[in-house]
Amino acid sequence: MARTAYVTDLKSLQAECTANYVRMSRLLSSLEAGDVREVPLSGNSGRFGTLWLEVVERAPYTTIVRVCQTGVLDGIVDTPRMLVHLYHDVRMAEVTDFQRQRHFSGRYRYPNPRMHQPDEKLQLNRFLGEWLEHGLAHGHAALQELR
């Protein structure tokens, strides 16, 4: 049976980037370049980490944000971190750097030397969406005014 090549799901990618823009806008509100928002995360058993959002650069049409999380597994596993570009004219937020890896293609042949999934770019943006949604749902104190 012949395998067919992965075709980029552009609608899903654009929908995810649009939803991430809305989530990111809620979390950033009026932060300027150099500002950092700390979102303490808590659950039933207490505080379990902090989501950090740092506005690296803000321009009329784009904003660059560094997103990372610290918590109970620091020192055991790599802290997840990414760089996100917000494009204000099209109202989309896209992951452009994950764990210091940059420039993700819309699709990859599989297998490949870096072992990227065929839809790596979509998966990274979905991960960002889940991460931000988690911060909005479980963040406390600093986010009370955002709800």
Q: How many Cα atoms sit within 13 Å of 44 on the Cβ side?
A: 0
What is the per-residue pLDDT for 53? 94
Q: What is the dihedral of CA 117, 124, 44, 141, to 10 degrees?
A: 170
pLDDT tens-place string over residues 109-138: 666 566 556 567 888 899 899 989 988 987
What is the per-residue pLDDT for 29? 83
pLDDT tens-place string over residues 45-90: 777 788 899 999 999 999 999 999 887 666 665 677 899 999 999 9
Domain assignments of the chain as residue spans, ordered by start: 9-102
